[in-house]
Amino acid sequence: MDAPVTGRDAIEDIEIQLLLEAVYKRYHYDFRYYARASVKRRLLQARQQLGFASISGMQESILHDPAMLPRLLNYLTVQVSEMFRDPSYFRALREQVLPHLRTYPSLKVWVAGCSNGEELYSLAILFREEGLDQRTIFYATDINPEALKVAQAGVYPLDQVRNFTQNHQKSGARSSLSDYYRADYGRAAFDAGLRERVVFSDHSLVTDAVFAEMHLISCRNVLIYFDRDLQDRAIGLFRESLARKGFLGLGSKESLRFSRHADAFTDFIREEKIYRRNET
């Protein structure tokens, strides 16, 4: 017989595993294969801020009170982003990727893990500035319904806009960011026209299927929260979702280097983590 588990950390690890299993079986949100250190840090923060004495107490609440789910999702999903984050990435798209996409009569772009929508609006503005918006359909997906609501509204605190504007200019902007929003009561409401060709959808990279024939998939700073097997699952999903010679953009700390799907892609702009799907 194995010795009983002792120690606070070991017991917390058991509690976390049981909580993640409960969330999956009760609500079909699967965080079981997210990077465990990151999940543990966020769950301990949730326990403290939501006023629970233990992870087990939080599990009991989530099982019996569905209203707890969106509150917990706000901790388990990361909603920290900004418009035109890493401007050199968007400049690379503008100058080196969009000339290729311009050759297609119609385009599909998937923003996977769109969070509160900042990256979606960045791409929508970029495509408008380059004259491609009217031939493009954007798919913006996330597992957090509250984040999707924020993305659909397109309203952000005005104090963030200065940083958004600086990033936009560094991305090679052809206009002023102020052309795309209305400032009122400390908020910036982005032009509804930017959402005319956007499909917002609840989608999980862990459990859901492909979006077919995408020309560009931008999934930045999502895979870093997955373990290796889950990263491979997501990258395989992108591989199957991309049209041949379509483009995949990842975050600055992410890579295809160790993925079992790496051979399906070619480095297109290595320093910006932009890849191109091979023809075969």
Ordered per-residue pLDDT tens for the chain, 280 residues: 555 656 788 889 999 999 999 999 998 888 888 888 989 999 999 999 999 999 999 999 999 999 999 899 888 887 667 999 999 999 999 999 999 999 999 999 999 999 999 999 999 999 999 999 999 999 999 999 999 999 999 999 999 999 999 999 999 999 999 999 999 999 999 999 999 999 999 998 988 888 889 999 999 999 988 989 999 999 999 999 999 999 999 999 999 988 999 999 999 999 999 999 998 7
How far is the C-alpha of 36 from the C-alpha of 56, rounded, in Å? 17
**Per-residue model confidence (pLDDT) at position 3:** 54
Strand order in the sheet with 187-190: 155-157, 187-190, 181-184
The helix or strand, by DSSP H or E, that contains position 164, with its residue range, turns out to be: helix 161-170
**Per-residue model confidence (pLDDT) at position 23:** 93
> 84 and 76 in contact (C-beta within 8 Å)?
no
Report helix, strand or coil for 168: helix
> 143 and 226 in contact (C-beta within 8 Å)?
no
> 60 and 137 in contact (C-beta within 8 Å)?
no
**Per-residue model confidence (pLDDT) at position 44:** 94
The set of residues, in sequence order, having a beta carbon less than 8 Å from that of 11 and lying 6+ positions away, is: 5
Q: Note the pTM of the prediction, 2 decimals.
A: 0.87
Structure tokens at 147: 């984040």
Cβ neighbourhood burial of 76 (10 Å; 0-12, 13-18, 19+): buried
Report helix, strand or coil for 262: helix
**Per-residue model confidence (pLDDT) at position 147:** 92
Q: How far is CA 115 from CA 13, 64, 78, 85, 220, in A?
A: 27, 27, 7, 13, 10
* C-beta atoms surrounding 30 within 10 Å: 18
